Amino acid sequence: QNICKPEGVISDTYSDFDFAESFRHKVAAPLDKLIRTKFFRTLKVDLYRPCHFWRTEGSCFQRDCIVTPLDDDDVPASWQMQTVDHTNFGPFLGSFPRQRPEHTDKDFAVVNDETFGDGIWVDLIENPERFTGYAGAGANAVWMSIYQHNCFGVPPYLQDTAGGWGSQLVNVDGKSMPFVQPPRRRRELVSFLESLSEEERGVTMPADVPLEYRMFYRIVSGLHASISTHICSDYFNATADRWEPNLSCFISRIGAFPDRLQNIYFNFLLLTRAIQRMEPYLLSYDYSTGIPKDDKAVKRLMPKMLRAVKRAGFVFDDSELFLGSSGAAMKGEFKDNFRNISRIMDCTGCEKCRLWGKTQTLGIATALKALFSYPDRAFRGSFTSLDFKRNEIVALITTYFQFSYSIKSIEMFRGMYQDFVTDW
Ligand code: FAD
C-alpha cells in the first residue's frame, strides 16, 4: 500500500480523496495565477507584536527565516495608512483612551486591519513558505501550547500528560526521524514506521468527541501538516546546495500518519465550502490596484475559480454544527480558542514562519467567520451586514492556495514513494 495515497471518504465530509484531488486540479488552474496578482500577493502583517504567553528566547536570523518587506512605492497608495477614527469603537465612545479592537464578536482571529499603522507590507510570492531551519524547543513550545492548552479533541498522545508547563518543551512523541542520508535511509524509515502505534498514526480516533471539537483539532492538525508538507516539498539540501523535495521528511512527519494527511484535505474542503458561500460577495468585491494588467487578470480569474469551486458541489455540511442548547456556548469557546491560537503565532521565533502562521490562521478564521458568524442570506443582496477586511480576503484565498499546493505535493510524494518502494 502506498502510504501517500489515502483512499475512501474523508471523514466528517461529503467527499472522498479522489474527488477532492480531481476538483482541486480544476480550481488550481485559475487559483495558481490569481495568487500571483498584485491584489493577492500584497499583504500587511504585524510581525513584531510581543509574545504575550511566555518569554521567547532569541529569534532565527538565518537568511531563510527573514522576511523582505515591500517598499512603500510598491504598495497601491489607496491601501496605505488611511485616517481612521480610532476612538469610534464600542459602547464607551470617547470615554476610554484611544484603543483599537483586536477583533469583533464575529471574528475567529485577531484581524489587524491594514488601515492601522502597525505592520509591514510584504510580497507573499517573494517570501514563500518553505524550509527555514526553525526547529527545536521554541518551535515545539508553540505547537505544544496550541495542542495542550488551546485545542479540543486532542488525541491522548498529544495531551499534557506530564501535567506541567515544562512538558511543552520536549518533543512529546520523541519520534521525529532524523533526516538521514541515503545509505541508512531505508532502514531508518522502516524502523520508524514500525515504531508507531495505531493511535499515533491516527488509525484509532478517540471516541465520543463532539463534532465541533473534532473539527477544531482537525483544523489545527491539518494546518500543522500543511506547513510541514511545504517544508518537506521545498527543503534545502545543504549537501547539494539546492532546494528539492525530501521524501523521508514527508513520510516521517505526514505520510506515516493517515489522520494528518486526511486533515489537510479536510481543511481544503472546509475552505471550499466557505468560498462557495461567499461567492456573490467575492464576485462583486473591489479588487482594483490601479495596475491595469493585474486588475484585468483578477476580473477574469476570480469568476473562473469561483465556478470551479461551485462545481465541487456539496462537500462539507456546516449546518450540522453548533446546534442545540450547547451550540452557542461551544461556538464562543471555539472562537476564543482560535483567537488565542492567532495570538500565539506572535511567539513563533522565525519571521517567515510567523508571516505564514499568521496569514493562514487568519485565512482559516475568515472561512469560519463566513460559515458561522453570518446567515447564508448575508452573502446575497447588498452585503451591508458583512464586515470583511481586505487582509481577510487575501488571507482566505492565499490559504486556499496553500492547502491546494499541499495536496499537489502529496500527489508528487506519492510518485516518489512508489519509486522508492519499487527500488526496495
Ligand atoms: P513539529 O512539526 O515541531 O511537531 C511537534 C510535535 O507535534 C511532533 O513531535 C508530533 O508529536 C506532533 N505533530 C506533528 N505534526 C502534527 C500534526 N500535523 N498533527 C498533530 N500532531 C502533530 N519551519 C520551517 O522550516 N518553515 C516554516 O515555514 C515553518 N513555519 C512554522 C510556523 C509555525 C507557526 C511554527 C510553530 C513552526 C514553524 N516551523 C517552520 C517549524 C516546524 O513547524 C517544526 O516545528 C520544525 O520543523 C520541527 O519539526 P518536528 O519534526 O520536531 O515536529
d(CA 110, CA 104): 9
d(CA 150, CA 29): 36
Residue 228 predicted with pLDDT over 60: yes
| pLDDT for the residue numbered 338 | 95
Measured N-to-C along each axis, helices 137-150 and 327-344 cross at an angle, to the nearest 10 degrees, of: 170
Contact, 219 vs 260, CB < 8 A? no
Mean pLDDT of 229-244: 94
d(CA 270, CA 272): 5
Grid cell locating 217: 483539532
Bridge partners (DSSP) of residue 9 are 16
Bridge partners (DSSP) of residue 45 are 120
Mean pLDDT of 401-406: 98
53-105 per-position pLDDT tens digit: 888 877 787 888 999 999 989 999 888 865 544 444 443 333 443 456 789 99
Specify the ligand 1 atom closest to the Cα of 175: 9
Residue 269 predicted with pLDDT over 90: yes
d(CA 267, CA 275): 12
Q: Which long-range contacts does 46-53 make (Cβ < 8 Å, 24+ apart)?
A: 46/112, 46/118, 46/119, 46/358, 47/119, 47/120, 47/351, 47/354, 47/355, 47/358, 49/118, 49/346, 50/346, 51/344, 51/346, 51/347, 52/343, 52/346, 53/145, 53/343, 53/344, 53/347
* Of 352, 357, 325, 326, the residue nearest 341 (C-alpha): 357
Grid cell locating 182: 541515503
Residue 206 predicted with pLDDT over 70: no
What would the DSSP string read from start to end of 397-422? HHHHHHHHHHHHHHHHHHHHHHHHHH
Q: What three-state secondary structure class fits 120?
A: strand
Closest residue by CA, ligand 1 atom 30: 353
Q: Any catalytic annotation for residue 51?
A: no
| pLDDT for the residue numbered 186 | 64
pLDDT band at 172 (very low <50, low <70, confident <90, very high): very low
Lowest mean pLDDT among 33-42, 136-145, 205-214, 320-329: 205-214
d(CA 383, CA 165): 45
Grid cell locating 259: 489522520
φ, ψ for residue 58, nearest 5 deg: 65, 175
| pLDDT for the residue numbered 81 | 65
Is the sign of the CA dihedral 15, 402, 45, 283 positive or negative? negative
Mean pLDDT of 272-291: 97
Which one is predicted more confidently, 349 or 381?
349
Mutate to test the pocket of ligand 1, among 47, 143, 351 (most ligand atoms within 8 A of CB): 143
Residue 198 predicted with pLDDT over 70: yes
Strand blocks (E) in 113-177: 120-123
The structure's pTM equals: 0.91
d(CA 110, CA 397): 18
Closest residue by CA, ligand 1 atom 3: 140
| pLDDT for the residue numbered 350 | 95
Grid cell locating 375: 446567515
Residue 284 predicted with pLDDT over 70: yes
CA 135 vs. chain centroid, Å, equals 18
- Give the best-scoring range by mean pLDDT among 111-125, 239-253, 268-282: 268-282
Mutate to test the pocket of ligand 1, among 64, 177, 226, 227 (most ligand atoms within 8 A of CB): 227
22 alpha carbon – ligand 1 mean position (Å): 28
The helix, strand and coil proportions of the chain, stated in percent and rounded to the nearest 5, come to 55, 5, 40
| pLDDT for the residue numbered 160 | 61
Q: Any catalytic annotation for residue 4?
A: no
Closest residue by CA, ligand 1 atom 19: 221
359-399 per-position pLDDT tens digit: 999 999 999 999 999 999 999 989 999 999 999 999 999 99
Specify burial of residue 22 (Cβ count, 10 A radius: 0-12, 13-18, 19+): exposed
What would the DSSP string read from start to end of 333-366? HHHHHHHHHHHHGGG-SSHHHHHHHHHHHHHHHH
Mean pLDDT of 201-230: 86
Measure the CA angle with vertex 179, ends 400 and 60; round to 5°: 65
| pLDDT for the residue numbered 399 | 98
CA 162 vs. chain centroid, Å, equals 28
| pLDDT for the residue numbered 100 | 67
Specify the ligand 1 atom closest to the Cα of 223: 18
d(CA 277, CA 281): 9
pLDDT band at 118 (very low <50, low <70, confident <90, very high): confident
Closest residue by CA, ligand 1 atom 35: 139
| pLDDT for the residue numbered 85 | 46
Summary mean pLDDT of the chain: 86
Residue 24 predicted with pLDDT over 70: yes
Mean pLDDT of 181-187: 47
Grid cell locating 26: 480544476
Residue 168 predicted with pLDDT over 80: no
Contact, 347 vs 353, CB < 8 A? no
Which one is predicted more confidently, 207 or 55?
55
